Amino acid sequence: MRTALILLFLLAVGAVPGSLLPQRPLNPGRTSGYIRAHGSWGRFLDGIGMFDVFGSVWFAAIYLLLFVSLIGCLIPRIRLHARAVTRKPLPAPRNLDRLPESGSFETSDNVDAYLDSARAVLGRRWRVVRREDASGAVTLSAEKGYSRETGNLIFHVALLASLVLIAIGRLYSYQGSEIVVQGHGFCNVVAQYDSWQPGRFAAEGKIRPAPFCIDKLTRFTAAYTDSGEPSKFAADIVYRPSVDDPSTRARITVNHPLRLQGDRVYLIGHGFAPRVTIRMPDGTVRHDTEPFVPQDAATLQSEGAFKLQGKPGAKQDVGVAATFSPTPVPQSAQTFTSASPQVRNPILGIAIYLGDLNYQGLPQSVYSLDTSKMKLSGAANLRVGQKKTLSNGVSVTFDGWVPWASLQVSHDPAQGFLLWSALAMVVGLLGSLGVRRRRLWLRVTPAGDSSDAPHTVVSVGGLARSDSGNFSTEFAALFERLRSVGRPARAAVLTGTE
Amino acid sequence: MAGIDGSAAHLSDTVFTTAIAVYALAMVSYVAEYAFGRRGRVAATAAVRELVTVGSPRTDATTASPPARGGAERLGRFAVALTVLGVALHALSIAIRGIAVDAVPWSNMYEFASVAGLVGVLAFLGVLWKAPTIRHLGGFVLLPVILMMFLAGTVLYSKAQPLVPALQSYWLGIHVTLVSIAEGALMTSAVLTVLFLVKHRADKHPGSTGAFSNLATRLPAAETLDKVAYRIVAFAFPLYTVAIICGAIWAEAAWGRYWGWDPKETWAFVVWVIYACYLHARATAGWKGRAAAWVNLAGFFAITFNFLIVNIVVSGLHSYAGLS
Ligand code: HEM
């Protein structure tokens, strides 16, 4: 017990830094910022895993020790309990009045008649055994509340099972997310994801994502209240559960993911993809639609870029760095920000660059421009339909926008079982904390026949095996019932402390 | 989702303020009863209980309370009546708020604090029902409730608002209801635990005088306080467990994972483990009594931390606080 206590305590204390320090898996940006700001102290904390507490070696060590200690204490307890359940209740101690609760009375019933009545009082909830003393007295040993220990064991076993299921879930899980512009789609293939977080087996390629496709985001809808609070987000999609299946329609909303065999598809974010028409330096006309990244979750003021390559090596690439303000409000003389995520006469603020987009030929972020080999050639704030033309004939027209939705695919084959296991924990807890374990003994002694009427002395003793609650009251009530079923003789004496 | 019914929301606020005033009055009455009540009351009641046990064990302890003692007794009854009135108003204010926002009314800190406070008072009334002798302790339970409601009505207050999409789930109703019931009950347990520690200390140093020992003489037996505090945890712990499970079910539906060590989740876990520690401590030789009591208080500290600091200072996905 002491080990369990210490390990539980460590577990609680160990979890605390995980909530107070930024955690890399949740927020990599803030984590590296924190480390930079705190110099060697930050690096020290990093070294001991403080920025990934729940993935750290020492947290795993506490968890594993707890696991081992739990197994170590459960096995003997299960064996003991199995024995206790099959065994008869213990014989009565010699002196019942030494027990925490006891009392005695006399009845004019004879021994057997009284014992029958007493058994009837105890009913089915008590397990009762009758024994005869050497002295000729008869004892009843009664016990109840076995399900307390049963419940406690169920709880701890289910806890173990839960830990195992969490670990299995981690090993077999994967998670990918993808920004889908309305009208487009994707398949559940690693290469298609913007972000991919595999569990160990998925990372090793031992499990492969199920072959389903979200063929098309037909429509994304956002609804707002009068005061501008979001009230509903919904993504209408067409999907195929497996590549060869026929297409099916479905709607994904924030609390209602699409649940496929083994995978779930969530709607986790949304934004805007402005559409532009660009006349290139060589006179060709191109169309482009790019998803922009929201800079502010409350107003969806967004940023992004359009990148159009001209003839290779001709330094005729056009890059447009842009901001999209759904409900524009002037921020300074030249720039706009947004007052609301609702689109009302939006503005696309553009800065047009000419030159070489990717002189290094390396992969780049699609949301920003590398302007080191480009020249700023013009800027404007465009409403839908407006156009900015440069002196060399290059122009950018803001044609409109479509929404995009960020869809996340999650896979965790163990979570359904985990739910059952967690429910078993609750059931076990209810037994463990709700049931009281009690022992009761009756010694029924024929008191000679010197007097005219037969009479019998009954002594009763009780013991609370667990949390005594108000056992005195409980005992007193039971004592009273046991007394009143016998034909009265003389007064009862009830003694007892708690 | 319908909009907000402004006049109902306003009415709810008024009733809420009235409930605070009624509680405050009740608290004053409890304290007055406590101050004017005679010293020997606990001893007397304990003796009566023994008597009753012998005579007719079925008798409810209510009838066992000592014969009316004039002023103090009347004050005490008045305080209970006020508490019941306060609870009725408090519940009414929450119900009206629910009608105003057309959803379960505990989705931000103000609403949550209000509900938890209500549960705390209800838990006290429940304990009072079973053990009338603790009546004069009512002030100790009402004081934190009033403080919390005051804080809720001022600092944490947010206007009645419809729910953002992530909160539109019936699991929210179940999850937050259970959390506030469990935490309200655990608050009462913590109050009793503090009183237990006071009594325990006084029992150890019988000769000492001062405010604490003065208080201690009027408290029920240390063992009783400890036991009632435990029974409350035994009731609240499974509830809290179910609440966390419902939270996980909701997180799975809303965020794509049942558990993500978000600060709020982490603290819920910490609280859960501390109360598991408490239950173990009570069953461990050498940890019973005082040590276990401190674990109980650590648990309540963690709840408070989770509610105030994590909501206001540490940001996470659970940004339901409604403060901005
Ligand atoms: C996260 C881990 C654990 C949790 C949440 C937990 C929770 C609980 C709970 C709620 C009880 C019921 C207490 C009561 O009856 O009042 C209990 C009892 C018990 N636990 Fe654990 N436990 C954990 C780990 C362990 C471990 C590792 C051990 C053994 C090394 C252990 C041994 C026991 C024993 C022996 C009891 C019976 C206490 C009694 O009622 O006499 N537990 N536990």
Is the Cβ atom of A1 under 6 angstroms away from ligand 1?
yes
The answer to whether the beta carbons of residues A412 and A169 sit under 8 Å apart is yes
Of residues B57, B258, B284, nearest to A2 (C-beta): B284
Choose the residue to mutate in A71, A152, A432 for probing ligand 1, maximizing ligand atoms within 8 Å of C-beta: A152
* Cα distance between residue A102 and residue A100, in whole Å: 7
**Better-predicted residue by pLDDT, B30 or A442:** A442
| pLDDT score of B44 | 38
- Between CA B23 and CA B29, with CA B24 as vertex, the angle to 5 degrees is 95
Query: What band does A34 get if pLDDT is binned at 50, 70 and 90?
Result: confident
pLDDT at B106: 64
Burial grade of A41 (CB within 10 A; 0-12, 13-18, 19 or more): exposed
Check whether A492 has a pLDDT greater than 60.
no
pLDDT of res. A464:
85
Q: What is the Å distance from ligand 1's center to B204 Cα? A: 30
Q: What is the pLDDT of residues A190-205, one digit of tens each?
A: 878 888 888 888 888 7
Task: Provide DSSP, B27-55.
Answer: HHHHHHHHHHS-TTHHHHHHHHHHHHHHH
Q: What is the mean pLDDT of residues A265-271?
A: 90
Stronger pLDDT, B62 or A214, i.e. the higher one: A214
Residue with tokens 């084959």: A413
Q: Work out which ligand 1 atom sits closest to the CA atom of A66.
A: 27
Question: Do B164 and A230 contact (CB within 8 A), yes or no?
Answer: yes
Q: What is the rounded CA–CA span in Å between residue A288 and residue A460?
A: 91
Q: Which amino acid is at A344?
A: R
Among protein residues, the one whose CA lies closest to atom 32 of ligand 1: A1
Which is nearest to A458 in space by CA: A480, A477, A439, A436?
Answer: A480
- Chain A: give the shortest CA distance to residue B186, in Å: 15
The series of mean pLDDT values per 10 residues for chain B, 324 residues long, is 61 83 85 64 39 36 45 82 90 83 68 83 83 77 82 69 65 81 89 90 77 73 86 92 91 86 89 94 84 94 84 56 38
List all residues 6 or more positions away from A332 whose beta carbon is below 8 Å from its beta carbon. none
Q: Work out the percent of chain A whose per-residue pLDDT is above 70.
A: 96
pLDDT digits (tens, 9 = 90+) for A452-484: 556 788 899 998 877 656 788 888 889 999 888
Count CA within 13 A, CB hemisphere, residue B15.
Answer: 20
Query: Would you say the CB of residue A65 lies under 6 angstroms from ligand 1?
Result: no
Nearest protein CA to atom 40 of ligand 1, as residue: B283
A497 touches chain B (CB under 8 A): no
Q: Residue B276: CB within 6 Å of ligand 1? A: yes
Which ipTM did the prediction report?
Answer: 0.85
A415 lines ligand 1 (CB under 6 A): no
Nearest CA to ligand 1 atom 31: A4
Cβ–Cβ below 8 Å for B266 and A19: yes
Q: Which of B53, B164, B166 is facing A473, going by the closest CB pair?
A: B53
Best A19, A256, A409, A480 residue to mutate vs chain B (most B CBs within 10 Å): A19
Q: Is the pLDDT of residue A420 over 90?
A: yes
Identify the helix (H) or strand (E) that includes residue B303: helix B290-305
Would you give the DSSP letter of residue B308?
I
Pocket lining: A8 vs ligand 1, CB cutoff 6 Å: yes
What distance in Å separates the CA atoms of residue B306 and residue B210, rounded to the nearest whole number? Answer: 35
Regarding the beta carbon of A152 and ligand 1, being less than 6 Å apart is answered yes
Q: Which residue among B223, B253, B314 sits closest to A255, beta carbon to beta carbon?
A: B253
Q: How far is A473 from chain B (nearest CA, A)?
A: 6
Q: Of residues A466 and A280, which shows the higher confidence score?
A: A280
Per-residue pLDDT tens over the stretch A313-328: 777 889 999 999 999 9
Determine the atom of ligand 1 nearest the C-alpha atom of A3. 30
Hey, which residues does A279 pair with through a beta bridge?
Answer: A285, A395
Q: Is the pLDDT reported for residue A445 higher than 50?
A: yes
Q: Is the pLDDT of residue A309 over 90?
A: no
